Homo-oligomer: A and B are copies of this chain.
Amino acid sequence: MERAARGFVTRHADGPTVTTPLRIAEVIAVGSELLGSHRVDTNSLFIAERLSGIGIDLRAKAVVGDEQGRIADLCRQAMSRADLVVLTGGLGPTDDDLTREAVAQVLQLPLVEDAAISAAIERRFARRGLQMPAINRRQANVLEGATVLDNLHGTAPGQVVERGGKVIVLLPGPPRELQPMLHALCDGMLGARAGKERTFRATLFITGRSESHVEEAVQPIYSAWRVSDPPLETTILATPGQIELHLSLKSADPSAAGTMLNDARDRLASVLGADVFSTDGRFMEQIVGDLLRTRHLTLAAAESCTGGLLLSRLTDVPGSSSYVRGGAVLYSNEMKTSVAGVPGALIAAHGAVSEPVAIAMAEGIRERTGADVAVGITGIAGPGGGTPQKPVGTVAVAVVAPGGSVRVRTFSFPGGRAQVKFHATQGAMDMVRRALQGL
């Protein structure tokens, strides 16, 4: 715990001080499971982002199975091209965790058991009332001369070694173990060793338009920025429920970069209007949560086809208990009637998936819970249940605003069951946002 508080500690500090700035990095993700068809190496995205923030470019990344010779080959090749090599994974306790051994082979360094680390791992197990399995002792093996990075969320420590002005970093594979270590490194040693240029970024999140419609609106604007000095890069990404515009700029002058990015963001926002819901990286559930919290309003929801996903997303936000009252998942018609008071005759007349039923659900749950804002969602998530009139993807959403005024809308979402559920929650939250912002 004490070591953790200090970030990391240099155990050995022989060798000359090297001052060449780190500019180019490569990542090697280790793990046979990453070569299968189920796992994607998402760590490298985080590493790319974090390194780019301190001006280090990720130039290549590789994924390799649990084979010591291969890992060593790749490490050697990466060291011949890059200033910084980050290896992730393969630091676990089992036989097939070979990253330590591979790097030891490349650098011709012995591995030595670190008593402090094995004691820490033992304590970690003891805290959970468990004895440390003998195999975990391997995780205390450290490259001679390495800086040890404490692991706050797991057993395997990270390690940093330098060789001829190059830096080699070993990080554990689980993201929640890796991320704090990389943060500490970028704020500390790696940040100090990088050059003066930093990458600055801004984002806009948009909903209610397709990717090509966003592109059409903004392309004439951003294309000129590519050739400005310094050039400002714009990337458009379509993700579930939102289109994202990512702006980035390399500069050694934070204040000039900030001004340039703010101007660019405002320019793009002005042509996209109310469809821009976030200009600071907050997601929809945070935007809606902050609107509710700052206005001291509470929310409740009655969900049918989304099955609880709307309330679950809203309650993913820390502190949401101050504005989320709760609600009901009303999968059957009987429950729509008994819990939200939706008249059976209304369901019979319009069908369970209809705007009148969505409104009755929202009004019913609002009355039942005393919330200021209420949402009713009813739709067909599929794959079954669609009809020619109401195909899969049809979702009616009603929002009752604080004064009691009602907005209702029928969406037609593409995709499978999971997509329809997600899009419906995104559409419902956007309706709440627009209602609260008077848009």
Question: What is the interface of chain A, defined by CB distance below 8 A to chain B?
Answer: 32-33, 35-42, 44-46, 48-49, 52, 58-65, 67, 70, 74, 77, 81, 93-96, 130, 133, 135-136, 153, 174, 176, 210, 212-213, 215-216, 219, 223, 235-238, 244, 246, 301, 303, 306-312, 314-316, 318-321, 324-332, 335, 338-339, 368-369, 381-385, 414-419, 421
Partner of A45, one of B40, B320, B369: B40
Closest-by-CB residue of B relative to A299 is B331
CA distance A67 to B233 in the complex (A): 14
CA distance A58 to B38 in the complex (A): 13
How many copies make up the complex?
Answer: 2
Say yes or no: A331-B315 contact (C-beta < 8 A), given A60-B70, A94-B236: yes
Q: Is the CB of B38 within 8 A of A40?
A: no
Q: Which residues of B contact A419 (CB under 8 A)?
A: 176
Q: Which residues of B contact A237 (CB under 8 A)?
A: 33, 38-39
CA distance A385 to B320 in the complex (A): 12
Q: Is the CB of A60 within 8 A of B74?
A: yes
Q: Is the CB of A421 within 8 A of B327?
A: no
Q: Is the CB of A369 within 8 A of B335?
A: yes
Closest-by-CB residue of B relative to A154 is B414
Say yes or no: A384-B318 contact (C-beta < 8 A), given A33-B235, A62-B63, A63-B62: yes
CA distance A316 to B416 in the complex (A): 10
Q: Is the CB of A327 within 8 A of B329?
A: yes
Q: Which of A48, A60, A216, A309 has the most CB of B within 10 A?
A: A60
